[in-house]
Amino acid sequence: MLRTAAVAVAAVAILAAGPSSAQPLGASPAGGGAGGAFAVTAASLVQQGQQLSLTVRLSHSFSGAAFAHGARTLCLVLMRRSGSVDAEICVAPPARRGHPLRLTLAVATRAGLGRPHPLAAVVTRGARDELTAAFPPASFDPNYRNLRWQVRSTATGGECPGPAASSASSPGVPVCELLFPARPALAALHVPRLVGCSAGGPSLVFTGRTAHRDVALTFDDGPWPEPPTLRFVDLLARYHAPATFFEIGRQIPEYDPTGAIERRMLADGDMIGDHTWTHPDMLSLSPAAQAAQLLMTARAIRRATGFTPCLWRPPYGATDPSLESRARRLGFLTVYWSVDTRDWTLPGTAAIERAALDGARPGAIILMHFGGGPRYETLDALPSIIQGLRRRGYTLVNLAQLLGLRLIYR
Which residues are identified as catalytic? 220, 369
d(CA 128, CA 34): 16
Is residue 166 classed exposed, middle or buried when 0-12, 13-18 and 19+ CB atoms within 10 A define those classes? Answer: exposed
Positive or negative: CA dihedral 174, 180, 181, 183? negative
6 C-beta neighbours (distance < 10 Å), count: 26
Instruction: Report how far residue 168's alpha carbon sits from residue 165's, in angstroms, rounded to the nearest whole number.
Output: 9
Query: In the 8-state DSSP scheme, what is residue 407?
Result: E
Please enumerate in sequence order all residues whose Cβ is within 8 A of that of 96, keeping only pairs 6 or more positions apart, or say none: none
Task: DSSP letter for 384, please.
Answer: H
At residue 71, what is the residue type? A
| SS3 assignment, position 273 | strand
Determine what percent of the chain falls in helix, strand and coil, rounding each to the nearest 5.
Answer: 30, 30, 40
Dihedral-angle region of residue 372 (phi above 0 means left; psi in -120 to 50 means alpha; beta otherwise): left
> DSSP code of 68?
T
The span from the CA of 94 to the CA of 13, in Å, is: 18
Please name the residues in contact with 161: beta carbons below 8 A apart, sequence gap of 6 or more: 29, 30, 36, 176, 178
How many residues appear in the chain? 410
3-state DSSP call for residue 29?
helix
H/E segment holding residue 322: helix 321-329
